[in-house]
Chains A and B, each alone.
Chain A
Amino acid sequence: MKIMDNCYYTKNHEWIRVEGNEGWVGVSDYAQDAMGQIVFVELPEADDSFAQEDAFSVVESVKAASDIYMPASGTVTEVNEVLEDEPELINEDPYAHYICKIELEDMTELDNLMDAEAYGAYCESL
């Protein structure tokens, strides 16, 4: 299982990579593996605002739809439209294929998330 050092992680298996006050958000390798083949991603819209832990996207496998939650509060600045036609890219590389970019509202919220090491231990414990 792949865990990226430069991301923060949630208990629901979302990741966020932060540069300045921008964050790239996606689902982890653990999540894509657990979901199986992904056949649809419901993207949020640019300018939508979400609080930390709000559901902002739905990733659907053959069998089921899974809500995806915001790792940190923010406003969507860009969505990864490629996923509309090629949702399976998340299976191929869940870190390269983010779901959306956000402008972060409160950097201190990142303290509520796990770093790579803590997330690795968390996944081991499941």
Chain B
Amino acid sequence: MGEVKRTALYDVHHKHNGNMVDFAGYEMPLYYDSIINEHQAVRHHAGIFDVSHMGEVTVEGEEAEGYIQHLVTNDITQIDEGGVMYALMCYEDGGVVDDLLVYKYTSTKYLLVINASNIDKDYAWIKKQGEAFDVTLKNISDAIAEVALQGPKAEKILQKLTDTDVSSITFFTFKVDVLIDGKKCLVSRTGYTGEDGFEIYTTLENIAHVWEKLMEAGQEEGLQPAGLGARDTLRFEVALPLYGNEIHKDITPLEAGLSYFVKLDTDFVGKDVLVNQKETGLTRRVVGLELLGKGIARHGYEVLSPTGEKIGEITTGYKSPSLDKTIALAVVDKPFTKLGSDVVVQIRKKQVPAKVVSKKFYKKNYAK
């Protein structure tokens, strides 16, 4: 085990009474005030998250475009300069290495944003795939700090601190050199909550200043610092996948229900397996569940058929703060993936009935 890292916002978290936990090798706030209050702040006002633990890799070179196309499942030739695309990296067997955001500066310069828990593994994979291409790769994760400003008031708050017209940063685009209270930032209209909002990248030296200024600017808009707990409940309600839960090395993007981000007419690592899987049909898939009895279905709990055979397992489950229902995501065998199917969740000693429902538990409110 390496030493637990602290982000450049560590002191800020303490100032705001962050309840700190070890996450992916970083000491991060699970919550400040309470998970549910922070969740509701993001849904109705705004929240600010420290996401400095995320990883960043730059890709530069004549063959950058062809290389990334080989690396990820989505068609990155469809990204305009200044555009962002969600994609997945697969192993040769179709399992997921990680999901990521691809930022395109030009066809010879990109930024990849990867999950904190996967930085070392991903970077090794990214380098290995790059050997045959004329590209220069740099893991700049330790030099980049990042906050996510999310919620319906995000644009109004951010606009107070910059001369850049932030409404011109449209959904899944970014701008570099945006001055936030004089500090140079890269700002993208992306996020992981299902709400409108921005992800703001800057240096370790500038991040605390940016955070504090955003907090001041957002005071009357109800901006709250939000921790990893709310980050997870928010992304779960809109069925955004989490690596290690809905996606991992033993599940393919198609099984995870992410076929929209898999373009089988492009060439990428793992494609043959996915083509074959599409032709022969999936044997299991990630679905939404609503529990009909009392209890909370947690990650790893077994899902059973009404006759008691194991047909899958829970990938994420919570009592939804927005809906006041107990819901879950689960990977289940094909015969039970149809909406309305009856299943049973084994919660400790009890068997709780559940039904398959749409994964879109809560409607996304992106500004498009």
Contacts and interface: CB of A to CB of B under 8 A. Distances in A.
Contacts of B31: 36
Contact of B319 (A36, A40, A84): A40
B360 interface: no
A39 B229 CA distance: 14
Interface string A34-75: 001101101000000000000000101011010000000000
A40 B296 contact: yes
Interface of A: 36-37, 39-40, 42, 58, 60, 62-63, 65, 84
Contacts of A65: 296, 298
Contact of B35 (A42, A58, A62): A62
Q: Taking each of B294, B295, B296, which has the highest tally of chain A beta carbons within 10 Å of its own beta carbon?
A: B296
B9 interface: no
Contacts of A58: 348
B30 interface: yes
Contacts of B232: 63
A22 B298 CA distance: 34
Contacts of B318: 62
Contacts of B30: 36, 63
A39 B34 CA distance: 12
A63 B229 contact: yes
Given A37-B35, A39-B319, A60 B296 contact: yes
Given A37-B36, A62-B35, A63-B229, A42 B319 contact: no
Given A42-B295, A62-B229, A62-B318, A36 B34 contact: yes
A44 to B, nearest CB: 11
A42 B326 CA distance: 14
Contacts of A37: 34-36
B233 A62 contact: yes
Interface string B305-325: 000000000000011010000
Given A39-B319, A58-B348, A84 B35 contact: no
A60 B318 CA distance: 10
A58 B298 CA distance: 13
Contacts of A62: 35-36, 229, 233, 318-319, 321
Contacts of B350: 42
16 contacts: A36-B30, A36-B35, A36-B229, A37-B35, A39-B296, A39-B319, A42-B294, A42-B295, A60-B296, A62-B35, A62-B36, A62-B233, A63-B35, A63-B229, A65-B296, A65-B298
Contacts of B326: 40
B69 interface: no
A63 B296 CA distance: 10
B203 interface: no
B168 to A, nearest CB: 37
Given A62-B229, A62-B319, 4 more contacts: A39-B296, A62-B35, A62-B318, A84-B294
B19 interface: yes
A117 B36 CA distance: 34
Interface string B244-285: 000000000000000000000000000000000000000000
B124 to A, nearest CB: 30
A65 to B, nearest CB: 6
A32 B30 CA distance: 16
Contacts of A42: 294-295, 348, 350
A96 to B, nearest CB: 20
Most buried by B among A39, A58, A62, A65: A62
B295 A40 contact: yes
